């Protein structure tokens, strides 16, 4: 039996998502803009999906804008905010550990004359609120922070940070990349205090090809994709109704994050307990990280070798993230992990379908690997 433990990369589709997509591809194929029955049916399906995603996020339906991916949502939020607020200032604050879909737009803005401040990461994998406080100056127009780090699972203090930004009266907009936290933590934008928030379908057992950007009511970002005016003019182009309906169904199928978190925490803690029996295996993730992400190392076995070995035995994990050869993980470096441990780091990422048995099987294989490769 295959054991898939790379859920931070993508998740297998849940049945409701597949069923919803199949229906959209076979029956409800119309263009939501068409004014006949097939069009109206597709329009209804789109509406339903929007409501489901809004419920899962914890916002109003008018605040959900479907995008083709989390990357598109992040790009739109950042470039849009910069453009909208550009007259009031040029200073943008972000963190040093963002996903490339935030990092790269920031680099582009820097080349366009914006001042980008990347908050450093502490030993616990988070940015510190005191550093943010001193970085917040009157000309700050945007603060963009990821909720959960995709490599080690560290959870940033978004709500506290957002409150600090609001209290500073600098008027900056707040964006949160919540892709890794969606469905696992409460990400209700009004609770977090953010104006813009990114989620993605394929990390919650929905299909690839759909994501969403939450835009707080009353905030009018400039659009970059112009055309037929879909998604309230923000993302023109005929809606990808199968992917969006699948996204909606996956969102509706999400269990309560709180209960699921407790279950996953138990599985994680038991697994780490098992790892304690083998002194060649080290845990890199901080203790208070999201239990869905467990970063470990077996020094002496390069990440790629361990991944191949596990893959040959039907267990699928990844290196830190989609890491490039020759470049050590920034996150692991930042939290003070030694180079030899970084070179052997693997990321195990769980889903709500992961069982204690899966983790036992993984432990057995890790144990086996230490016997084979370390002599």
Partner 1 sequence: MKEVILVKDGELALKGLNRSTFEDKLIKNIRRRLSHLGKFHFEKAQSTISVMPENGDTDLDEAAEIIGKVFGIVGYSRAALCDKDFDTILKTAEEYLYNKLEAVRTFKVESKRSDKKFPYKSPEISREAGAYILKRHPHLKVDVHNPDLIVYIEVRDRYTFIHGNQEKGAGGMPVGTNGKGMLLISGGIDSPVAGWMMAKRGIELAAVHFASPPYTSKRAEMKVHELLRKVAQYSGRIKLYTVRFTEIQEAIRDNCPEDTFTLVMRRHMMRIASMLAEKEGCQALITGESVGQVASQTIYALGCTDKAAAYPVFRPCIGMDKTEIIEISRKIDTFDISIEPYEDCCTVFTPKHPKTKPTPELLEETEAVIDWTELLKIAAETAEIRYISLREDAE
Active-site residue numbers? 323
In the complex, the smallest distance separating the C-beta of residue 369 from partner 1, rounded to whole angstroms, is 9
Phi, psi of 198, deg, nearest 5: -110, 135
In the complex, the smallest distance separating the C-beta of residue 5 from partner 1, rounded to whole angstroms, is 17
Give the interface segment with partner 1, choosing from 66-74, 201-209, 229-237, 303-311 (CB under 8 A). Answer: 303-311
In the complex, the smallest distance separating the C-beta of residue 312 from partner 1, rounded to whole angstroms, is 6
In the complex with partner 1, which residue's Cβ is closer, 277 or 312?
312
Give the interface segment with partner 1, choosing from 127-135, 164-172, 240-248, 302-310 (CB under 8 A). Answer: 302-310
CA–CA separation, 52 vs 248, rounded Å?
5
- For partner 1, the binding residue among 29, 79, 309, 316 (CB under 8 A) is 309
In the complex, the smallest distance separating the C-beta of residue 316 from partner 1, rounded to whole angstroms, is 12
In the complex, the smallest distance separating the C-beta of residue 327 from partner 1, rounded to whole angstroms, is 10
In the complex with partner 1, which residue's Cβ is closer, 34 or 308?
308
**Binding residues for partner 1 restricted to 320-339, rule: CB under 8 A:** 324-326
Tell me the per-residue interface mask from 166 to 205 with partner 1, x by CB under 8 A, - otherwise.
----------------------------------------
What DSSP element (H or E) covers 72? helix 70-85
User: Which of 68, 265, 247, 69 is CA-nearest to residue 184?
Assistant: 265
Q: Which residues contact 10 (CB under 8 A, 6 or more apart)?
A: 202, 203, 208
- For partner 1, the binding residue among 34, 308, 333, 364 (CB under 8 A) is 308
113 forms part of the interface with partner 1 (CB under 8 A): no
**What are the Cα distances from residue 265, in Å, to 186, 203, 268, 351, 354?**
16, 19, 5, 11, 12
In the complex with partner 1, which residue's Cβ is closer, 128 or 313?
313
Give the interface segment with partner 1, choosing from 1-9, 147-155, 222-230, 305-313 (CB under 8 A). Answer: 305-313
User: What is the arrangement of strands in the sheet containing 115-119, beginning at the earlier edge strand?
Assistant: 64-67, 211-215, 196-200, 173-177, 140-146, 91-95, 115-119
- For partner 1, the binding residue among 19, 270, 304, 330 (CB under 8 A) is 304
Give the interface segment with partner 1, choosing from 259-267, 269-277, 287-295, 309-317 (CB under 8 A). Answer: 309-317
What DSSP element (H or E) covers 108? helix 100-111
CA–CA separation, 349 vs 152, rounded Å?
9
User: Which of 2, 16, 3 is CA-nearest to residue 201?
Assistant: 16
- For partner 1, the binding residue among 18, 159, 305, 361 (CB under 8 A) is 305
In the complex, the smallest distance separating the C-beta of residue 301 from partner 1, rounded to whole angstroms, is 10
In the complex with partner 1, which residue's Cβ is closer, 115 or 304?
304
What DSSP element (H or E) covers 159? helix 158-167
- For partner 1, the binding residue among 232, 311, 355, 364 (CB under 8 A) is 311
194 alpha-carbon distance from chain centroid? 16
Size of the site for partner 1 (CB under 8 A): 11
DSSP per-residue codes, 328-359? --HHHHHTT--HHHHTTEEEEE--TT--HHHH
Tokens of 266: 């138990």
Residues that bind partner 1 (CB under 8 A): 304-309, 311-312, 324-326
């Amino acid at each position: 039996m295959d054991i898939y433990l790379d859920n931070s990369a993508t998740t297998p589709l849940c049945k409701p998502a597949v069923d919803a997509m199949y229906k959209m591809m076979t029956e409800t194929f119309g263009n939501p803009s068409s004014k006949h029955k097939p069009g109206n049916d597709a329009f209804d399906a789109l509406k339903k999906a929007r409501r489901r995603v809004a419920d899962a996020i914890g916002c109003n339906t008018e605040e959900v804008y479907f995008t083709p991916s989390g990357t598109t949502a992040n790009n739109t939020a950042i470039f849009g905010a910069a453009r909208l607020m550009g007259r009031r200032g040029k200073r943008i604050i972000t963190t040093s550990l963002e996903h490339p879909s935030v990092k790269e737009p920031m680099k582009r803005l820097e080349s366009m004359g914006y001042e980008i401040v990347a908050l450093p990461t502490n030993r616990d994998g988070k940015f510190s609120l005191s550093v943010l406080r001193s970085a917040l100056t009157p000309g700050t127009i945007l603060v963009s922070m990821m909720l959960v780090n995709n490599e080690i699972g560290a959870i940033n203090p978004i709500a506290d940070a957002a409150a600090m930004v609001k209290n500073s009266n600098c008027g900056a907009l707040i964006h949160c990349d919540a892709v890794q936290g969606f469905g696992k933590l409460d990400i209700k934008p009004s609770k977090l205090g953010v104006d813009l928030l990114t989620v993605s379908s394929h990390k919650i057992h929905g299909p690839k090809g759909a994501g969403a950007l939450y835009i707080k009511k009353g905030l009018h970002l400039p659009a970059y994709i112009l055309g037929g005016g879909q998604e309230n003019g923000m993302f023109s182009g005929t809606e990808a109704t199968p992917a969006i309906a699948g996204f909606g169904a996956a969102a509706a199928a999400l269990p309560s994050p709180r209960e699921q978190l407790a279950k996953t925490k138990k599985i994680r803690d038991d697994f780490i307990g098992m790892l304690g029996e083998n002194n060649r295996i080290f845990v890199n993730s901080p203790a208070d990280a999201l239990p869905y992400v467990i970063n470990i190392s077996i020094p002496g076995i390069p990440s790629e070798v361990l991944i191949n070995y596990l893959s040959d035995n039907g267990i699928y994990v990844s290196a830190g993230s989609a890491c490039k050869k020759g470049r050590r993980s920034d996150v692991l470096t930042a939290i003070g992990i030694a180079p030899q441990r970084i070179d052997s780091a693997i990321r195990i990422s769980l889903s709500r379908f992961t069982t204690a048995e899966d983790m036992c099987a993984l432990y057995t294989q890790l144990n086996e690997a230490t016997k084979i490769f370390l002599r």
